Amino acid sequence: MRGKSFPVRLISILAALVFSGFTLTTRIAGAQGQSITSPESFFGFRMGADRKLARWDKMVEYYKLLERQSPKIKVVDMGPTTMGNPFLALYISSPANLAQLEQLKRINSRLSDPRGVSEPEIRRLVAQGKVVIAQSMGLHSSEVASSQMAPELIYDLVQRTDEETARILDNTVAIMIPCLNPDGEILVIDWYNKYVGTEFEGAGLPVLYHKYVGHDNNRDAFQTNMVESQYMAKILFRDWIPQAYIDHHQMGPYGARIYIPPYAEPIRPHGDPLVWREMSWYGAHIAYKEEEAAMSGVVNAAIYSGWGHFGFHWITPFHNIAGMLTESASARLGSPLYLHPDQLQGGSRGMPEYEAQTTFPNPWPGGWWRMRDIVERQKIAAWATLDLAARNRETALWNAYLKARRQTERGAAGKPAAYVIPAAQHDPLTAAKLVNKLLVQGIEVQQARAEFTHEGKVYGAGSFVAPMAQPKQGVIRYLLGRTLYPDNSYTRDKDGNPIRPYDMATDTMAEFMGVRVDPVDTPVGAEMEKVTASIERAGRVERGASGYVIDGRLNDSFRAVNLLLDKGITIRRVNRAGVAGLRPGDFVVSGGAEALVLDVARQTGVSFSPLASDVTRTSYQLKRLRIGMYQRYYGGNIDEGWTRWLIEQWGFPYKSLMDAEIKAGNLLTKFDVIILPDDRVEMMTGERRGEGAGRGAGSRASEYPPEYRSGFGQEGVAALRAFVEKGGTLVTFAEAGDFAIQKFELPLRNVVANRPSKEFWCPGSTLRVSIDNTNPLAYGMPSEGLAVFLANNQAYEVLPTPHNERVERIVTFAERDILQSGWLLGEDALVRKAAMVSVEFGQGKVALIGFRAQHRAQTHGAFKLVFNALLSGPDSRGTQ
């Protein structure tokens, strides 16, 4: 409609057509005489109106309409989401800026990495550049308001012609991700609309609001397993490196109305200090604008600590981006919620009471709380961020340069000087994946052409080096270096009890992935070349007299095995060492068309080496197992979702098992292995509805429609027991171990259960373990490694019985110095205890993995413990 204007008469005619499918276009006399459709006229309601939620497909239409109507917005469809919906990034700026977007991107990347750029040149770039501000909405789909707020914010930006708006458009490039999880937006809105007006109105979605990862989509920013995370990484970490990034969320309903930056204590050190000052600067301006607009209940420097998991808003500060969030009090999805004054509470970091304080001068008094209240507060926060940047363009750009330069200088002067990723690795293909994940973060990685010696160690040709003399050294330090969570008065309450970190106490990617990385104190002088594209390895194929052997130590060998089993190829697994130099766990392929083997080697990077002698007597034939995994409602189980994604990626066929199928029994006729993902017993059995499963709404079973109240009950317990007694294998992850211990009365005790936190405390840390890799469940593992251990995880003591031999200890905690990264109190409790056991039960087995071997699909170093449990073992039953 750009450039055209409707006669007023025609509008009244069009108005009559609205209900027959036409869209009413409100005529706004903009500076260029454009007609811009308001969200209210497009969607038929004001954004945030009670019980009205716009669906993502309509929003996509709206943003594309705005692009046709206004030269101030550019819509980029980055590609499909996990479930095939469009993922959009919107660029909003003046028409002149949008016409030279590529040039502005180049200027910004030089300011963000000024190595080799002279200071006069920097001053020229600052004079020409624009402040880049990224904002995202709808990351967490049950937090419905922000993606509803976005159309109105964006409409205001492109439609308003006042001085303030013009200053924003002239001085900034606003990058809006109007919905970071479109799949979940659609799931939640369809669910809400189905039940609005019934007694279940406002209940939480009973399943994960992302096909695989639900709420954990904000725990994926550093490993970028999901495609949505990959789009975000491209914008934030590589293409743009914005000066500020702000992510809009919602929290529980009973505290402040909105949290705005900066963060509370503790913060992670090793970012540039300026980045923390910038967050206070933006936060102060947002707070000021909220009070100017008479918005009550605004708190800053509280609740959300600066040391969180490495989600988008928490990792960005180490990319030298002012990475921030807002968190608004939730209603009941789109429905209002009434709050009594005495229900309003403080009690969180930096906000001990619900009383006026300097960072919370205007407490909200209680009453009805509506989605529109959230939309208004969020919109002010989003706008104020742009307003501050526009008023301080040169300062913001100069700061970008200063942060990058100073971080580079610190990296050059400090220790370690670099991290070396040696070519020699237990699993070199996983090491290549780690390098690729560093590249996704925009980190510079170099590769040695030839062997070199550094600080007394010899590193083979092809070893990688991440030097710290680069702007992103803060990210490198946390992804590759040992990380200890602070234990001090910021992290203990007044009685000395440890305060739980927001999520993990460490996110050390190299430790999670089981990749050896050496910190070195001096810069590596060997001849290096910069890695410019992701490392793709093609496996070599060479046939021997008895076929091929593939290395059981590689995670990707399991993918290769599954691809070959799909084609009906016979595969044997070595279970005795010493013949033809093979290790227990190696795979042997005797038949199979050469073309197929070549294709699998190319797809997986796994090499097929020649096998000279017959190894039939020291190996067994693999049988494909029928795998089932328990899935429940009440918001879904995120660990189940991640596990589903992981085993799909590695090509294991499986079936999700719901309550009815478990209760029906006869499980052994359909399954060989059943997985119980990390969960509480009562959440599986449905005996009692636990807390913390769903978010945003619906905390009691009775709040869900009856068909979504899950639990397999006593019938399910009996069916699972019969399944194992008759020869099935049950695999339990972490807390789900309680199910087998309690319901099957296994001779095990979880020694860290019910201990006071002052005595034992281990929130999201890496712990040193020994692994019995002669056990088929640990084939291919190194003899020592790291286990990712969360607060609710388990350590096993074997209780005495006449048949102690029925328990096998597969992974055990180290004798001393158990903590590698994170936070551990009371390590004595773990010494010599088992982290993973296998217990014979009747004719079957239970494998209990007490820690997180597949944590968020990030713990590549322990994946094989899961994969082995899903392949047949050497015993006669064909299962383990």
When the beta carbons of 25 and 330 are compared against Zn ion, the nearer one is: 330
| CA quadruple 604, 610, 613, 615: dihedral, nearest 10 | 0
Whole-angstrom distance, CA of residue 750 vs CA of residue 309: 27
Pair 533, 570: CB distance under 8 Å: no
Work out how close the CB of 325 gets to Zn ion at its nearest, in angstroms, rounded to a whole number.
8
Which helix (H) or strand (E) covers residue 131, if one does?
strand 131-136
Whole-angstrom distance, CA of residue 686 vs CA of residue 632: 10
Work out how close the CB of 696 gets to Zn ion at its nearest, in angstroms, rounded to a whole number.
9
Whole-angstrom distance, CA of residue 837 vs CA of residue 839: 6
Work out how close the CB of 852 gets to Zn ion at its nearest, in angstroms, rounded to a whole number.
22
- Residue in the block written with tokens 């180290």: 814
Work out how close the CB of 298 gets to Zn ion at its nearest, in angstroms, rounded to a whole number.
18
Mention every residue, 6+ apart, whose C-beta is less than 8 A from residue 390.
131, 167, 168, 170, 171, 172
Work out how close the CB of 286 gets to Zn ion at its nearest, in angstroms, rounded to a whole number.
18
- Measured at the CA of 534, the angle between CA 505 and CA 642, to 5 degrees, comes to 45
Radius of gyration over every alpha carbon of the chain, rounded to an integer in angstroms? 28
Number of residues that make up the chain: 880
Whole-angstrom distance, CA of residue 34 vs CA of residue 65: 13
Work out how close the CB of 502 gets to Zn ion at its nearest, in angstroms, rounded to a whole number.
12
Work out how close the CB of 501 gets to Zn ion at its nearest, in angstroms, rounded to a whole number.
17
When the beta carbons of 502 and 744 are compared against Zn ion, the nearer one is: 502
Cβ atoms within 10 Å of 371's Cβ, excluding its own: 28
Work out how close the CB of 248 gets to Zn ion at its nearest, in angstroms, rounded to a whole number.
9
Residues facing 247 on adjacent strands: 136, 325
DSSP 812-823: EE-SS--EEEB-
Work out how close the CB of 76 gets to Zn ion at its nearest, in angstroms, rounded to a whole number.
24
Pair 23, 15: CB distance under 8 Å: no
Sheet hosting strand 244-251, strand order edge to edge: 73-80, 86-92, 172-177, 131-136, 244-251, 322-329, 258-260, 298-300
802, with CB counted inside 10 A (0-12, 13-18, 19+), is: exposed
Decide the pairing of beta strands 655-657 and 627-630: parallel
Measured CA to CA in angstroms, residue 211 lies from 81, 127, 214, 242, 629 at distances of 10, 45, 7, 29, 15
Whole-angstrom distance, CA of residue 570 vs CA of residue 556: 18
When the beta carbons of 503 and 659 are compared against Zn ion, the nearer one is: 503
When the beta carbons of 140 and 855 are compared against Zn ion, the nearer one is: 140
Which helix (H) or strand (E) covers residue 183, if one does?
helix 182-195
The single-letter code of the amino acid at 506 is: T
- Mapped onto helix, strand or coil, the DSSP state of residue 486 is coil
The single-letter code of the amino acid at 8 is: V
Work out how close the CB of 147 gets to Zn ion at its nearest, in angstroms, rounded to a whole number.
12
Given the rule CB under 5 A, which residues bind Zn ion? 140, 143, 249
Pair 136, 177: CB distance under 8 Å: yes
When the beta carbons of 695 and 864 are compared against Zn ion, the nearer one is: 695
Pair 213, 81: CB distance under 8 Å: no
- H-only helix segments in 421-578: 428-440, 473-480, 509-513, 555-566
Tokens of 284: 């102060």
Pair 153, 63: CB distance under 8 Å: no
Q: Does the N-terminal peptide bond of residue 467 adopt cis geometry, omega within 30 degrees of 0?
A: no
When the beta carbons of 249 and 845 are compared against Zn ion, the nearer one is: 249
When the beta carbons of 332 and 393 are compared against Zn ion, the nearer one is: 332
Work out how close the CB of 90 gets to Zn ion at its nearest, in angstroms, rounded to a whole number.
21
When the beta carbons of 140 and 721 are compared against Zn ion, the nearer one is: 140
When the beta carbons of 183 and 735 are compared against Zn ion, the nearer one is: 183
When the beta carbons of 370 and 695 are compared against Zn ion, the nearer one is: 695
When the beta carbons of 125 and 189 are compared against Zn ion, the nearer one is: 189
Closest CA to 178 of 306, 369, 39, 299: 39
C-alpha 498, offset from chain centre: 25
Pair 860, 430: CB distance under 8 Å: yes
When the beta carbons of 143 and 678 are compared against Zn ion, the nearer one is: 143
Residue 85 DSSP symbol: P
Work out how close the CB of 326 gets to Zn ion at its nearest, in angstroms, rounded to a whole number.
10
When the beta carbons of 249 and 309 are compared against Zn ion, the nearer one is: 249
When the beta carbons of 202 and 308 are compared against Zn ion, the nearer one is: 308
785, with CB counted inside 10 A (0-12, 13-18, 19+), is: buried
The single-letter code of the amino acid at 565 is: L
When the beta carbons of 377 and 860 are compared against Zn ion, the nearer one is: 377
Whole-angstrom distance, CA of residue 830 vs CA of residue 815: 9
When the beta carbons of 140 and 405 are compared against Zn ion, the nearer one is: 140
When the beta carbons of 181 and 858 are compared against Zn ion, the nearer one is: 181
Work out how close the CB of 164 gets to Zn ion at its nearest, in angstroms, rounded to a whole number.
29
Work out how close the CB of 377 gets to Zn ion at its nearest, in angstroms, rounded to a whole number.
15
When the beta carbons of 249 and 680 are compared against Zn ion, the nearer one is: 249
Work out how close the CB of 189 gets to Zn ion at its nearest, in angstroms, rounded to a whole number.
17
Work out how close the CB of 140 gets to Zn ion at its nearest, in angstroms, rounded to a whole number.
3
* Euclidean distance between the first and the last CA atom of the chain, given in angstroms as a whole number: 67
Work out how close the CB of 450 gets to Zn ion at its nearest, in angstroms, rounded to a whole number.
48
